[in-house]
Amino acid sequence: MKALIAEHPTSSERVRDALRAAHLYYMQDLTMEAIAAELHTSRSSVSRLISYAREAGLVEIQVKTPAERISNALQRVQEKYHVTLHVVPVPDSANEVDRLERVAMSAARILNPFFDSNMTMGIAWGSTISAVGRHLQPKVTHNSQIVQLNGAANTRTTGIVYASEIMSRFGNAYGAYVQQFPVPAFFDDPATKQVLWRERSIRRVLDIQKRMDVALFGLGTPLSDVPGHVYTSGYLDEQDFASLSASNVVGDVATVFYRADGSSADVPMNLRSSGPPLDQLARVSRRVCVVSGRSRLPALRGALAAHLITDLIIDEATVHGLLED
């Protein structure tokens, strides 16, 4: 209940000491023992300082995959779709849940260097991105913002709690301003959307979306046995599914649907969805997609065909599935 933002005189010094400790540890390879001596404190305090530095995002660790390490088949995929693959190693024995967790954790760390001060990141919230949100690495940024790409309300709830939970995790991790998007995921009537889209308060958000530097999204798939959040929580009804089926839809990004060839024009449902048009999305300079599980493969193929993705974070087993045709 109380605001923890209080400024203890120690709080600022703690960061200073943590930075110093982290520098001595990571840049000068001193042991914690030696650092303790330099800081006139105990080794255990140094251990705590360094964990703090990591948790606070003062330390950034990247694992770099040299391009030539990637198999030829994957290189062809990369070139064909202008996408950078980030393959997450996961044991074949892992179940879907573990797999998603591990991909999400990796995604959170891979994402980190993509976002910085003065940038805007768009979030297409959903079950995959929610998992990513739970593993974010904090990072200090300034003048940055997080913008919600797709509405959250549905026929049962306003969805705001769930969506804003996700959004604020991102906001907190990066110290960024969070821009909510208080509209339904799908409108009942396209006309309502058109009218609402003329409102200045909404257009403000749409403008921010248009100018985002990074888009982060998972993939929805109406075909799956394990459907995404959007397909199980009362967002769509029988008729909607029929409509999607009739349009030969294979997946969606931020509630906007596309076909196997990547096209999304003339899909009636899109007139009612709250997310950004895919051709607009494709103009964002970095478009990060997180995928886990073979059930998303058809959706993934479509998204690649539509060139929606510049960085694909995907587990090993699924990327292998992508190569089998």
Contacts with a second copy by CB under 8 A lie at 15-16, 19-20, 22-24, 26-29, 38, 53, 57-67, 69, 88-89, 91, 102, 105-106, 109-110, 140, 142
Rounded least distance, CB 229 to a second copy, Å: 24
Rounded least distance, CB 213 to a second copy, Å: 19
- Residue from the set 26, 45, 180, 196 that interacts with DNA by CB under 7 A: 45
Could you tell me the end-to-end alpha-carbon distance of the chain, in angstroms, rounded to an integer? 55
By beta-carbon proximity to DNA, the closer residue of 11 and 232 is: 11
Pairing type for strands 145-148 and 214-217 reads unpaired
Question: 157 is in the binding site of which of DNA, a second copy, none (Cβ under 5 to 8 A by kind)?
Answer: none
Rounded least distance, CB 199 to a second copy, Å: 37
Is residue 245 a contact residue for DNA (CB under 7 A)? Answer: no
258's tokens: 């596309």
Backbone angles phi, psi at 42, to 5 degrees: -90, 160
Backbone angles phi, psi at 22, to 5 degrees: -65, -40
Q: Using alpha carbons, list the distances in angstroms from residue 127 to 31, 106, 107, 149.
A: 41, 16, 14, 14
**Closest of 110, 136, 122 to residue 214, by C-alpha:** 122
Rounded least distance, CB 72 to DNA, Å: 23
Number of residues engaging DNA in binding (CB under 7 A): 20
Provide the b/e sequence for 275-284 (b: ≥16 CB within 10 Å).
bbebeebbeb
81 with 304: CB under 8 angstroms?
yes
Binders of DNA in range 22-41 (CB under 7 A): 25, 31-33, 41
- Residue from the set 48, 210, 307, 320 that interacts with DNA by CB under 7 A: 48
For the chain, the residue count is: 325
Q: How far apart are CA 83 and CA 4, in angstroms?
A: 42
Is residue 9 a contact residue for DNA (CB under 7 A)? Answer: yes
Is residue 189 a contact residue for DNA (CB under 7 A)? Answer: no
Rounded least distance, CB 30 to DNA, Å: 8
**Closest of 180, 234, 223, 226 to residue 204, by C-alpha:** 180
144 with 116: CB under 8 angstroms?
yes
Is residue 6 a contact residue for DNA (CB under 7 A)? Answer: yes
By beta-carbon proximity to a second copy, the closer residue of 101 and 240 is: 101
By beta-carbon proximity to a second copy, the closer residue of 53 and 284 is: 53
By beta-carbon proximity to DNA, the closer residue of 12 and 75 is: 12
* Contacts with DNA, residue ranges (CB under 7 A): 5-6, 8-11, 14, 25, 31-33, 41-45, 47-48, 50-51
